[in-house]
Every structure is written in structure tokens, then in C-alpha cells.
Amino acid sequence: MRKPIVLIWTPRAWLVTCAAIGAVVTMLLVLARTAVRVSAPLSDAVCGKVVAIDPGHGGDDCGARGRSGLAEKDVVLDIGRHLAGLLNRAAVYTVMTRDDDDDLVRDESLGPVQRKRLDLESRVDLAARSRADLYISIHANSFPEPVWSGAQTFYHSRSEESKALAQAIQKELAAQLGPNLRRAKPGDDYFVLKHSKMPAVIVEVGFLSNPREESLLAQPDYRRRVAEAIFRGTVNYLIESYSERTKGQERRGGEPGQGAEPASDSGMQVDRMPQEGPGEVLRSKARAALKPSEDEAILYFAGPTNFDDDLLPEVRRIPGMAGSLPPEERATRIVNELIKGPAGGSVLCPTVPKGTRLRSLRIVDGVAYVDFSSELVSSHWGGSRSEEITIYSIVNTLAELPEVERVQILVEGAWPVTIAGHVILDAPVSPNYDLVRFAK
């Protein structure tokens, strides 16, 4: 006679079972609500992953600020919290680099640049120590003219995984937040992308300098929509990445998830290398096409429309440039013209804040050391893309001189510096012609 099987069903067992069922149901409801296309088992592709969420700035560093006073640090923190909630409900672990209005530095004796560097290092280090699978840094953009708008993602060009993540999120931002022709773009100079050891992206959720987008980002419902778009893109990336790994394993006859090749390009610490080849060819072609005379210089300013977030050249005649002028004097006159902004009647946009002064300039062994007044930092409008545009407006303009190969930017005689908190200028910078576009 068989012995009877007795099940002891305690209140704790009921609680555990109900909690497990609830977690699964909640995850499915969240994914259904955001209409994520499921092409792989969720338990393998999504559940159990670790995502570092990095709301930019914080504390005394408010980041960009809209005309109404809306601060970037507040907008991105709220979006980060919503994103964490969505991921948690999909059984994804999240690590917030900050969950309040503060940065990650406790040493009050540090100067602003040292503090910013340590803050950025601490964010990247926290993600690494948490063994995060992905790093998502959330920011808001800005520009001196209100014409620019649209959310945009950035990645490091040496990480194919980061590029895929950025493209997946960019696709959902455009689909969920309205018309947006912006594309995921490389951002090799951004500190967190250079130093992250896992696939990493920067998500710029919109322009606080654009009145319409500032108004939208001030609305809690819209910020939740932004978080949902980032969530959808992230989950789609994880599913697609899992599917690709699974197909690769099946072709090699292995088990899914076992023996997978490491994504060695997923997050690399790299320093910006001087561009050669195509960049130099482009510079030569630019000079040939623009044909500046002896008393003219090529200045690089920002594009005039929402589709031109690149540098466009302006050929400007500068009095006294003709003749045997010493290189440093030529460079000084050129930078002062760049500070003045585009010529009267030009459709181009300025790249250097009003009130900025050139304190000194010297050229040593092919490096131009350019010292600006504090307004370059204090009056800058903020935003990662805008910071990059400002840097390479200066660098590319000076690199048109045959005596200049690289540029070191200083502020009030000091370096390293950071203009808007996304790029640390601690070494001479080579020109970047990937940012240059010529009007047809």
C-alpha cells in the first residue's frame, strides 16, 4: 500500500508562491503595455540583467537650464527613477548612480574640475563594481538658439554593442515621442563613454533651450513617456542581443548562453587618437573647395537648422592677415573672430558664449595653448553635444593653420578643464572632421 503524500502548505508558502506569480504577471503586463516585441525567452534575454542608470549632474551642478528655470539635474533624475521602476518590474536589477539631488563627491576641498572628474569616475566605477551589463547615462541638451530639438543617443565608436544599444533606444525615442530625424551618433570624447567597461550610452532626452521641449519635459507624464521609450529600446536591445548570441551558439553546436564569445568591444577605455587619413583628406578638400585667400580664415560654427547639429565652415576676411604675420598673431586674430560669432546676416549659429575673452595664445611644437576667460564655462549653455560642438569649433578652426596640429584649451590659465561637465580636457585635442558638414 502506497504511503500517502502529505503537503504542508504554510502561510509563508502561500506568500512566496503569490509573490512569484505576481512578479511574472507584472513583468508581462509592463512589457505588454509598452508593446515590446518578444522574440526570445524573457527569462534568458531580460530577467536578471543589471543596468546602471546614471542621471547626469546633481548638487551644485544643475547642468543645462531652460528659460523657465527648469534644471537638467531634476528632469533626468525623475526620468531615471521611472526607468528604474520599469526595469525592476521586468525583473531587471538596477543601480542608480544617484537617487537624490547630489553628486558622488564628498570632499568639499576639491576644485570644480577635480570634483567633476572624481564625480564622473565614481559613476563609472559604481557601474563596474555592480557588474552592470549596461550603462545608461541620462542628460538633457541645450543650445544658444531655440531651433534645435529632439532626443538623441550617443555611443563610443569602438563599441559595436554600445552602438546597437544607442540605435535601439533612438528608434523608440523617435517612435514614442513624435517626429525626430536625429540619429544615434558617436560621442568618443564623453568621459563616461570612454571609461565604461560595459555597453554604454548617453541619452539626451531633449533640448531645454527649445521652448516646446522645455514645456514637455516639465510635465511628469511626458517624463514617464521618455522613460518608457528608453525602457522599450533597452529591452529590445537585450532580446536582439540574446537572439544573436543564441543563433551563434546553435551554428557552433553549443548551448545557448554557454561559451559565448566575450564582447571585447562592449566598453573600452580609450583615449582620443589623432585623426589621420580621411580627416586630413577632408581638410585638404575643404581648403580646395573654399579657396581662402591669404587674408582669409576658415571658421567653424554650428548649423542653422534642427538637421545641422554639426560644424559648418565660414570663410572670413580678417584685416591685417595678409603678409608675413607671425603664426601666434594669426591664430590670435582668428580666435577673436570666432568669439565674435558668425558674420552679420549669416544663418550659422555661435559656438562660444558671449562675454568670453581670449587671454593668451601660444604655439609650441605644433600644440596651440589657448587660454580663455571664465565665461567660456560660466556662460556656456550646457548639453553634451553643444559642449562637443564648442570644443571642436575652436580646435578645427585653429587646426586650419599649418603650424597647429592639436589644441589645448585652458580657462583662466588652468587646465585640465571641463566646459559643461561631459568632457574633461586634460590633454591636447586633435581636430575632428567627422563633425564637419559642407552645405550643398
In the chain, the amino acid numbered 180 is: N
Task: Tell me whether residue 385 is exposed, middle or buried, using C-beta atoms within 10 angstroms of its C-beta: 0 to 12, 13 to 18, 19 or more.
Answer: buried
Domain residue ranges of the chain, discontinuous segments joined by +: 21-251, 278-435
Distance CA 155, CA 437 (A): 20
Distance CA 379, CA 298 (A): 25
Cβ–Cβ < 8 Å for 437, 303? yes
How many other C-beta atoms lie within 10 A of the C-beta of residue 362?
13
Q: Where are the alpha helices (DSSP H) in 159-307?
A: 160-177, 191-195, 211-217, 220-252, 278-290
Looking at the domain covering 21-251, what would its CATH class be?
A: alpha beta
In the chain, the amino acid numbered 287 is: R
What is the CA 37 to chain-centroid distance, rounded? 26
Task: Tell me whether residue 365 is exposed, middle or buried, using C-beta atoms within 10 angstroms of its C-beta: 0 to 12, 13 to 18, 19 or more.
Answer: exposed
Q: What is the pLDDT along the chain (440 residues), one digit of tens a residue?
A: 555 544 455 555 555 455 555 555 555 555 555 444 444 466 788 999 999 999 999 999 999 999 999 999 999 999 999 999 999 999 999 999 999 998 888 888 888 889 999 999 999 999 999 999 999 999 999 998 888 899 999 999 999 999 999 999 999 999 999 888 899 999 999 999 999 999 999 999 999 999 999 999 999 999 999 999 999 999 999 999 988 887 766 666 555 544 434 344 444 443 333 344 445 555 666 666 677 788 889 999 998 877 667 899 999 999 887 777 899 999 999 999 999 999 887 889 999 999 999 999 999 999 999 999 999 999 999 999 999 999 999 999 999 999 999 999 999 999 899 999 999 999 999 999 888 876 55
Instruction: Give the model's pLDDT for residue 11.
Output: 55
Which residues touch 189 (CB under 8 Å, ≥6 apart)? 272, 388, 391, 422, 423, 429
Q: Kind of pairing, strands 367-372 and 406-411?
A: parallel
Q: What is the pTM of this model?
A: 0.83
Q: What is the DSSP letter of 272?
A: P
Q: Kind of pairing, strands 311-317 and 296-302?
A: antiparallel
Distance CA 223, CA 80 (A): 9
Nearest to 367 by CA among 427, 433, 294, 299: 427
What is the CA 195 to chain-centroid distance, rounded? 13
